[in-house]
Structure 1
């Protein structure tokens, strides 16, 4: 009788959440409902639940088709879209140096955090045991260096060699940026259109995400029991804890070193950060971020370059998340990665994460690409999907705050912070 009572209670909770989600025009509440409903089904009807894995597999297959064209188009546009690299000058060089240093620190913090928490250890998967090393790429430095350069871009795309696709995109983007604006424009426009199409493709596929989450959670709980939720909870706490550590150990010292006014900056960044947290979309916060930073004292020419470029090259929260999630996938798959293999994976992530725009759950694409490149199991990726909404909100907020800080740092580095008064329109918008 008690068992029946708790089944009724859980079903009532699912129905209440569904009623709440029905009044919202967003996938986020439906993903929460699907997660709870899947866990309920896996707990009460495990034999049925394990058959629902096909829905998450369909979703993951569709996402995998997006990976190569999306990375290729967005990375090329991110490099070539600003014109001749030489014309970018000091601002571009300083911004890129800052981006790489900070994102490397983010990867390092994420890597340390997941190795300490070991959130993926203990997860039971049904796939065949992995006996070979996870990293199939050559381990000698010269063989690895040769391996990352493509000999045929079509072959690299077909085989899912995303690192090779990223390297090709970097060289192609640099070559394209060295052409005249007239010759460069048609290709840049074509690739911009391609990236937009792929993001629309992603948006369409994301409508299947509640069904995929329900299937993944039902299968996971039905097969492994509620104990797996402990691992997902540890993963979530690992991410939030490491993001806080990143803010305290990296962003705050950067403000102090470059003498960015901390209180004024935090007040200015509050609005775009809130938008990013609520929508899980960096791009939704872009207009507010640019307006607030100009009102803070960052010249418009620096704001207009650094913040949009940062959306391709300075996704601090997302790169930290990728470090945690990729090692979690390996741990959940029972794969022991040596320090060298983890560092190899981090180098891959540093390249493949560049150029992915700040749209909801875009990092899932990169995570799947990484799992495919290093032959990691995809089952844990489906598990992560169940809590990815909560993770996305936090990492997107850090992305926006990091890019706003980058613009202030470059302005301080250039000695132009506060030297150009913002327009009245910007000040009015910043005060609203």
Structure 2
């Protein structure tokens, strides 16, 4: 009942955010709107910062305990291999789906060059200038675990935790002391999740009110076809993921979906996968996924299994090319798909990561990178759908690997 009440409050907060944002947009001066949006966003900032403060200790404690309990390197390799199989298959399917849809519907031809958000594009272009193999490596391998935790670089924390977990398991009885302590830390952090989730409705209200106050509802009308085709892609991707999930999880799939409804809504409304990481961990364990598998797979998925973002990358890149009247043959498009498959990994910590990758890819294929400005006005709403899809994909990946390992337990309805 408590969980259902929170879900209801979040939905009410979304509706109130839309209503308040619309009233402010329609009845206020540009000066007031410019002042209102950042203040409304403060509510979201408070919620996200509360969540972010527990991500690093949660990932570290659960992952170390999970790997140490898995035991030897052979087991870690086997579980990691199964996860990698799912990640690569899902990523390729997502990218290919985006490529097919943008070629069939050609959404870029309906984008008007006069609607470009040039200010936002300059900000992204500034981030892209430093996007290279060097920055990719720096996002993967930590030089300091303290720095990685301070900046919430999940993949860096994962790398350190894997080494730490394997070393802990190798210590035998001495390592059991560390496992016991970190297991207790993980339980405390998960208890904190319940307290922090009480702030979720405020965060949702602030995020929705700010974006509607700034952009109004007109952005939906102007970009309606672009958003419609992208939503069609998301619908098809969800259908594919759920069909494959049903083939493996069978009659357990409906229970999984019920478990992750609340994380999906929060991810959708705040456009932050990080916001639901702790809650998703808790719900997957209650669903029956082995806690060691959850601790190992879910943090990896947050860097390597971004299904919604992957689909959007090909969709947006080719739509920008269409807006500029640039024709790319199928061979070039498939090359772009492979480039996106590689460059998108390990950038989960980069703000607006999908757009940064799209901007870099456009420049690589002689598409004007400033064209990113064309899709920025609608990007927040696309981000809502791709973030929720990322959460669904990671929940399915963790559940499927748990089932493949024969480690699926009965659902905990408590």
What TM-score do you get using the length of structure 1 for normalisation? 0.59
Q: Which has the larger radius of gyration?
A: 1
| Residues 274 and 397, structure 1, Cα contact 8 Å, conserved in 2 | yes
TM-superposed deviation, 1:357: 1.8
| Residues 277 and 396, structure 1, Cα contact 8 Å, conserved in 2 | yes
CA distance in 2 between partners of 1:282 and 1:158 (Å):
21
CA distance in 1 between partners of 2:283 and 2:354 (Å):
26
TM-superposed deviation, 1:25: 4.4
TM-superposed deviation, 1:107: 0.8
Query: Which has the larger helix fraction?
Result: 2
Deviation string 1:336-368 (CA, Å, 9 cap, x unpaired) is 011111111111111111112277633221121
| Residues 28 and 389, structure 1, Cα contact 8 Å, conserved in 2 | no
Runs of 4+ in 1 over 6 A off after TM superposition: 81-87, 228-231
The answer to whether residue 290 in structure 2 is matched with residue 299 in structure 1 is: yes
Between the two structures, name the one with larger relative contact order (CA 8 Å, sep ≥ 6).
Answer: 2
CA distance in 1 between partners of 2:253 and 2:266 (Å):
20
CA distance in 1 between partners of 2:374 and 2:42 (Å):
16
Determine the structure 1 residue equivalent to 2:28: 15
Gaps of 5+ in 1: 1-9, 31-76, 127-156, 177-184, 198-209, 218-225
What TM-score do you get using the length of structure 2 for normalisation? 0.62
TM-superposed deviation, 1:308: 0.9
CA distance in 1 between partners of 2:387 and 2:37 (Å):
25
The answer to whether residue 309 in structure 2 is matched with residue 318 in structure 1 is: yes
Determine the structure 2 residue equivalent to 1:36: none
Gaps of 5+ in 2: 1-22, 45-58, 115-125, 155-209
CA distance in 2 between partners of 1:85 and 1:164 (Å):
28
The answer to whether residue 117 in structure 2 is matched with residue 104 in structure 1 is: no
The answer to whether residue 266 in structure 2 is matched with residue 278 in structure 1 is: no
- Write out aligned runs for 1:11-410 (5 A): 13=26, 15=28, 22=36, 25-27=39-41, 88-121=76-109, 123=111, 125=113, 164-165=133-134, 169=137, 186-187=143-144, 189=146, 232-259=223-250, 261-357=252-348, 361-410=352-401
TM-superposed deviation, 1:165: 4.5
CA gap of 1:23–1:236, structure 2 versus 1, over 3 A, is closer
TM-superposed deviation, 1:403: 0.3
| Residues 117 and 234, structure 1, Cα contact 8 Å, conserved in 2 | no
Deviation string 1:132-155 (CA, Å, 9 cap, x unpaired) is xxxxxxxxxxxxxxxxxxxxxxxx
